[in-house]
Structure 1
Amino acid sequence: MKRHLAAAAAAAVCCLTVLTAPGAQAADNPYERGPAPTNSSIEAVRGPYAVSDTSVSSLAVTGFGGGTIYYPTSTADGTFGAVVISPGFTAYESSIAWLGPRLASQGFVVFTIDTLTTVDQPDSRGRQLLAALDYLTQRSSVRGRVDGTRLGVMGHSMGGGGALEAAKTRPSLQAAIPLTGWNTDKSWPEIKTPTLVVGADGDTVAPVASHSEPFYESLPRTLDKAYLELNNASHFTPNTSDTTIAKYSISWLKRFIDNDTRYEQFLCPLPRPSLSIEEYRGTCPHTS
């Protein structure tokens, strides 16, 4: 009888071990989208999803200037996380449009927007990013494709400063990526959103020493955060298709919007300097 009880107990422990193994939980991640990533797949101009798009007129919205929504055509995988992207000072949606299909083809709904005016400051752009997220999740024609709990923001220049403002205002955001960001506020200890700060070594408009670096250093030490300084790049590098920006943006969004730990390999251990990376800092391993 004792032998039977011991065997039963051992079997229970065995089963419990199987059920609680880390791999079992990772395999059941409900937000995981697309095949297992490789360097080639995240550096590719297009990912595994076919993409459709729809224009949003400025006359149909309030709080921002309209834009274009890019989304995976198929609904077979259910809903997707979403990201809204703002252009910079004096710029239009067209300046960041390349990111729309590139990110959407990896399994996101992406909204590249125009701002109310081209001279809107970062605090205004932050509010506009949030207004666009609210429109996307509540009123847009693709709202049924979006998981409203898995959202992020990006932006270039003043739009990057706006991404920081949006993350500060709405801590429930899952990811923020300022691209060669500009803001008169250099300190962001309030941010609770995992943030990838992207700077450029040759930026003379928002030099990294007075913008991206203090942005990064001021973020809480306990936050999942990273600083990517592009090599041989300028303030306007994010305005044209760039493999390094795409690769690490995709990895960051996948890791923190989708909780997809398959992309951790591209972020930790920290990428080393290369022909395209001047410097990379970060907190590893990531905890969120």
Structure 2
Amino acid sequence: MTTCEAYLKKQKQLVEARLQTLLHTEDKGFASLYEAMNYSLLAGGKRVRPTLLLATVEALGKTAAPYLDVACALECIHTYSLIHDDLPAMDDDALRRGKPTNHVMFGEGMAILAGDGLLTFAFELLAAQQQIEAAKRCQCMAVIARAAGPSGMVGGQAYDLNAEGNMHIGVEGLQFMHYHKTGIIFEAAIEIAAILADATPAIRDCLRTYAYQLGLTFQITDDILDYSGDAAMLGKPVGSDAKNHKATYVTLFSLAEARSMAQEAATNAIMAVSALGEEAWFLRQLATYLLQRVR
């Protein structure tokens, strides 16, 4: 296990222990909704986004522990997006992380509500962070709202729907779509950490570049895995992009070119945080980890 993997495992344990305590209800009328929300929220995964937020705070010289709930709020947003992405009207996937997707387990209507519940609970959780001064809390909420909303993930998903069947959207269109669907949440994690740690404008610029290149690394690798990965390892079907007639880095270029582009993006991410010195060791190793992942 690499140092990066050990750090991810440690932070994953912290995040998951906290997530298990967050969503409970005394009202039996809400029990099925909370069950559906927890089903996806506690289904595992690498917890990369909350770990990225906490690691960036540490890289900027601050203690991350007081911001665990902020990181968990980001994971709620991410989980909501997965539930909705899997819906029959979207990607129509039946498997996620080796388990039936939310709508397969609970029905399409309840899955939509579970996603809605996680999205709105994230803001409730952020608003409750009294240890963070009010102005910073508002800034963090604004960052997440932009990243999750019509100028972010929702807009990216709309672009994706409109692009289905269009194999000629070009690399600019593909990068636009993937940035808004995937990369913008990496950027939100980084930007929130910068707010919490009082990063200088110059450092924030470096971190934005890093976040963009990291998201690109993640998405190109995701396209490669959907084309050539192992379904058992991934915990979800492969070939869903081809099934839905979606343009990817592999279909627009080639498998070899996509791998080269992913390597370039990872290298650019590593270079972007060189000014942060040794404190940013995890950020650098994470780029390589995402490039080399097999799931």
Structure 1 and Structure 2 fold alike (TM over 0.5) = no
Higher strand share: 1
Q: Which protein has greater RCO, CA pairs closer than 8 Å, 6+ apart?
A: 2
Q: What is the TM-score with the length of structure 2 in the denominator?
A: 0.34
